[in-house]
Structure 1
Amino acid sequence: MNKVLVVDDDLGIQKQLKWALSDFDVVFASDRQSTISQLRRFEPSVVTLDLGLPPDPDNASEGLQALQEILSLAPLTKVIVVTGNNDKDNALKAIAMGAYDFYQKPIDSDTINILIQRALNLTRLENENRLLSASKPSMGRIIGNSEAIQGISRKAEKIASTDITTLLLGESGTGKEVFARSIHEHSQRKDKSFVAINCASIPENLLESELFGYEKGAFTGANKTTIGKVETAKGGTLFLDEIGDMPLGLQAKMLRFLQERVIERVGGRSEISVDVRVICATHRDLPGMVKDETFREDLYYRVGEISILIPPLRDRDEDVVLLARTFLNQYKEEYGNKVKGFSDQAIKAMLAHKWPGNIRELQNKLKSAVVLAEGTLIEADDLGLSLSNDETEQVTLNLREVRELAESKAIRRAFHQSEQNMSRTAELLGVTRPTLYALIDKYRLDDLKSSN
């Protein structure tokens, strides 16, 4: 629940606001010193500040000084100043100093609730924008703050400057084509074509002609000479998705093309030279297929001159919410929905889910949720998720590694669930802030410190 700090020296007003703001987690302060103390301790998202504070409650000087200190220490905090009926000048002065809004007494519970909720909604949007901006991978299309994604993004960027044949490995839906396109877009071939073909989606008897083209009269229905995907990609990048599903008989011709960069169209007799960069991808176990003699060993070594293993989404806890917010912003524009974000339960459910379909599953659930959501926040039910869907994790049996992995994951989950608020993160974890910072240093979670 979002923290709201109420600053007022009138105990009657404090009691009234405690009752009126029952939907929020409210803490109180009665003077400038206690205000700063509570600000440091609780890091509230919103502060309601009475400008008439002791030792001079009839003057706004102490309240304005408190406002200046609040904004200096926590510039993102939304401060709603509260003034008397005849004190509009000081209210406007407070707005000029950086206060979010002002409110004139007497207290009306409905109005103050609306003001606070608006301030919290703005804070939520600002946090989401900061989280999106914090993702600075090496490759433009690739989204993620996790160490694994940052590492393979840097590797992909180095690969992009060469023509080395690259093999992208990973489960279905992990974003292998996104990586392939990013490599192409960061290469010297970026102004030429990127041509993708899925070897698993084309019938075996048609795949050869799709790849290499065919001459007129090569078979029934071949009424004209047609170039294939390889020639179409000339000068650019050819992406062979699911190459593990390529028929064994066609693998020999693919090997010759990769070795010599020449092809023969189906029904043709002449060799055609093709200058093209090749990126392959598969979710299959190619070494196992080589052992079973369903994939040529020489082709395996040729397509895998360098390999990149893309991790499944279940191993990228800290990227789940970032990806979800990216897709949310995309789909709400596409479908014209005014949904603003995710409820706490939705975030918890997304973090608990194992995502067997990886990023593709996340995209599908977000599309459905954006279409079906009736409120301003997407709920777990809109995503078709619940916390009970959490599966048992397969972990190492080394107790030290188990503990370190579990604690690191818990810290990252709490950090993102609390929208990068360190005090809230510590509270969720049941530790003090100094202990939290010590754990961040211990496990080298430096990106958490730089994001705060």
Structure 2
Amino acid sequence: MQRRRRGEANRILIVDDEADIRELIDLTLVRMGLEVDCAGSLVEARTMLASHRYQLCLTDMRLPDGTGLDLVRHVNEVMADLPVAVMTAYGSTENAVAALKEGAFDYVTKPVSLDQLRGLVKLALELSGTESVSGANAEARLLGDSPAMQQVRALIERVARSQAPVHITGESGSGKELAAQLIHQLGARRDRAFVPVNCGAIPENLMESEFFGYRRGAFTGANEDRDGFFQAANGGTLFLDEVADLSLAMQVKLLRVIQEKRVRKVGATTEEDVDVRVICATHQDIKALVNEGRFRQDLFYRLNVIELRMPALRECHEDIPLLATHILDRLAHAAGIRPPLLSLAALKELRTHPFPGNVRELENILERALALMDGSYIEAADLSLRSSRPENESTATTLQDKLDQVERQMILDALQEANNNRTAAARLLGVTFRSLRYRMARLGMNE
């Protein structure tokens, strides 16, 4: 069955062997002012794709002569710019994840929610109508000409064209949140909210209400209805930083929301649809946590559809001069002074420094050097790299002194990673809050 209407409206291809489903979706999309063609089989769909230009293809997972995955693969081979969304049976997470891994734009579950369908179609059409920004925005924010950074930027551009969940890995300070922001900015959701959440900084007893919201009277102090992170990010992107810090109980709730795209507020009796792209990040090895039983395998499977690894700064040492210049320009502009230059000796020091804290450490070093410099150049001495590393062995006269220095540096690193939230820092270090407080007092760090 094929219908062609006059006008310049966007054109959608629906592929489903159930006539009533085709008719329902057809009617819904026509009311949105779209042209619609319908196919009942894989062969018929391929014929239409060869004959017409579409802005979206929406296919059922089960077809009489193949599967929706077959159609996703076919489209990716012959017309990679065409978004393909799949319809899958309610609760069939494996099919949805398989489709996303094959390159599907997004998915909806049957029975089809028409509100979710409209939202998906609007996103796909926005994506189809945008020209590639091919790094113009990305290069302004994610700097570097090293092979590793070029690969990251290329992957970010490809990932941005999908709605699949992304798992960003990398060391602390390597730019995981920046990568998430770029995926959002280069995608169809760029005009909606980007909501970053530090999972390690939320107390366990507040997690459910913070993520999903609550109804008035749901608990003591709930004096009015309040939306959670998912509602705040509705239509946009939710970035879950340090997702490995979530408790197992919270992981179960998060999994269900991601699978079903529905949220139930604390104290509510009904669910509401949410349209959110989830991007998560962690510096921990989640696969190891899964093996240890500390992270649910089904949630990892759901979040890790696309993995993006951010390289450490020591893997991109040739980018350090460019990064340093950019950071100094920004810091000097904020301070209202003329940007200083780096001496050759200072550049040499930076290029040979291991940077365990990555770009975040580079920024801290340069900010300190800007305050210490005397003149228009930053010299090697202004960088204070030796003193920025764990204290010299010569200052540790005993084994206990050396152990204290190492412990102090680990605590400082954890506090920096947790934005000075001691509860989150204790969790990063694998100790209790009380133990962390005692250790900080013993080391004289409570000032």
TM bracket (short chain): 0.5 to 0.7
- Partner in structure 2 of residue 173 of structure 1: 173
Find the aligned partners of 1:307 and 1:339 in 2 and give their Cα distance: 37
- Deviation, 1:211, is 0.9
Q: CA deviation at 1:372?
A: 2.1
Alpha carbons of structure 1 residues 180 and 388: separation in structure 2 relative to 1, 3 Å = closer
Amino-acid identity (%): 44
- Give the whole-Å Cα distance in 2 for the aligned partners of 1:382 and 1:308: 35
Superposed CA RMSD:
2.1
Partner of 2:272 in structure 1?
Answer: 272
Separation in 2 of the partners of 1:223 and 1:388? 48
Aligned to 1:338: 338
Q: Distance in 2 between matches of 1:188 and 1:311?
A: 26
State the Cα distance separating 1:331 from its structure 2 match: 0.6
Unaligned runs of 5+ in 2: 1-134, 391-447
- Give the corresponding residue for 2:219: 219
Give the distance between the partners of 1:309 and 1:165, measured in 2 at CA: 14
Q: Compute the displacement of 1:311 (Å).
A: 0.9
Shift of 1:138: 5.2
In the alignment, the residues of structure 1 paired with residue 347 and residue 137 of structure 2 have an alpha-carbon distance, to the nearest angstrom, of 23
**Number of residue pairs matched by the alignment:** 257
- Residue by residue over 1:95-130, the C-alpha shift from the partner in whole angstroms, topping out at 9 and shown as x without a partner, is xxxxxxxxxxxxxxxxxxxxxxxxxxxxxxxxxxxx
Which residue of structure 1 lines up, in the alignment, with residue 68 of structure 2?
none
Provide the secondary structure at the position in 2 that maps to 1:278. strand
Is the 2:341–2:378 Cα contact (8 Å) retained in structure 1?
Answer: yes
**1:370-420 alpha-carbon deviations (Å, 9 max, x no partner):** 122111111122221259979xxxxxxxxxxxxxxxxxxxxxxxxxxxxxx
1:324 to 1:365, Cα distance in 2 relative to 1, 3 A: same
2:360 paired residue number:
360
Separation in structure 2 between the aligned mates of residue 161 and residue 281 of structure 1, nearest angstrom: 19
How many Å separate the matches in 2 of 1:261 and 1:352?
48
CA distance in structure 2 between the partners assigned to 1:388 and 1:215 by the alignment: 49
Q: 1:337 to 1:370 in 2, by over 3 A?
A: farther
8 A Cα contact 1:339 1:370, kept in partner? no
Deviations 1:412-442 (A, max 9, x none): xxxxxxxxxxxxxxxxxxxxxxxxxxxxxxx
- Aligned residue type for 1:194: F
Deviation at 1:146, TM superposition (A): 0.8
Letter in 1 for 2:218: A
SS of the residue corresponding to residue 211 of structure 2 reads helix
CA, structure 1 residues 137+345, in 2 after alignment: closer, same or farther (shift >3 Å)? Answer: farther
Equivalent pair of 2:237/2:279 in contact (CA under 8 Å):
yes
Partner Cα separation in structure 1 for residue 383 and residue 207 of structure 2: 38
Name the CA shift for 1:271/1:136 in 2 (closer, same or farther; >3 Å): closer
Matched to 1:305, the amino acid is V
Distance across 2 between alignment mates of 1:293 and 1:140: 41
Q: Structure 1 unaligned runs (5+)?
A: 1-134, 391-452
Separation in 2, partners of 1:139, 1:195: 22
Distance of 2:386 and 2:202 partners within structure 1: 37
By how many angstroms is 1:140 displaced? 4.1
Q: Residue 374 and residue 337 in structure 1: after superposition, are their counterparts in 2 closer, same or farther (change >3 A)?
A: farther
Q: What is the SS of the residue equivalent to 1:279?
A: strand
Aligned-pair distance for 1:202?
A: 1.2
Once the two structures are superposed, residues 182-212 of structure 1 have per-residue CA deviations (whole angstroms, 9 ceiling, x without a partner) of: 0100001101110110101111111221111
Shift of 1:287: 0.4
Q: Which amino acid aligns with 1:259?
A: Q
The AA in structure 2 aligned to 1:361 is E
Q: TM-score, normalised by structure 2?
A: 0.55
Counterpart of 2:369 in structure 1 is: 369
- Larger Cα Rg: Structure 1 or Structure 2? 1
